Amino acid sequence: MYEILKSLNLPAFDYSCWQSTIRHRVAVHSRHGNLTRWSGSVETADIVYRDSKSTLTNLLIRQGYLDSSSWSGASPTYYIEVKATMDALENAFFCSQSQFDRMEEMQLPDDEPSDEVYILARVFGLGRSRMGLRLYFDPATLRMNSELKFMADRYTVTPS
């Protein structure tokens, strides 16, 4: 996902936007040989990008993700959580409680821009000839509209 965004020549998009705690694992690739561990305090998303010049926002408008009458000229910060699989798009993926809470907090209001936008980026068929990408824009609204189904499957157990 970092490479896709980098190829768009977004202003001020660089390694500092890649805030994943596991980003250093790509250092085995020659293009990212000197990439170090992200040194921030708390991960909020894999990629965090402040769209100060509305470049990404305008692209998302052209692609139909955002309404131009509301979002034209907006410059939000995008929080992009990447979920990758070698398998099909339809396979379930893990979402932590903090990721769930964050996407709920960033649910977009109707017909007006927001300062923060949460996107799930689903990479599927990873490493295969038919690799794909699907963006789930505003996953909290998609959950409320039953377009994404979230199921809790963990328990916290404390001895009494």
User: Structure pTM?
Assistant: 0.86
- DSSP run (H or E) holding 49: strand 47-50
pLDDT value, residue 154? 67
Parallel, antiparallel, or unpaired for β 77-84 and 132-137?
unpaired
- pLDDT given for residue 75 in this prediction: 96
Question: Which mean pLDDT values do the consecutive 10-residue runs of the chain (160 residues) have?
Answer: 91 87 62 66 87 96 93 96 88 87 92 92 87 92 91 68
Compute the distance between CA of residue 142 and CA of residue 136 in angstroms, rounded to an integer. Answer: 8
Residue that is written with structure tokens 């596991």 in the block: 22
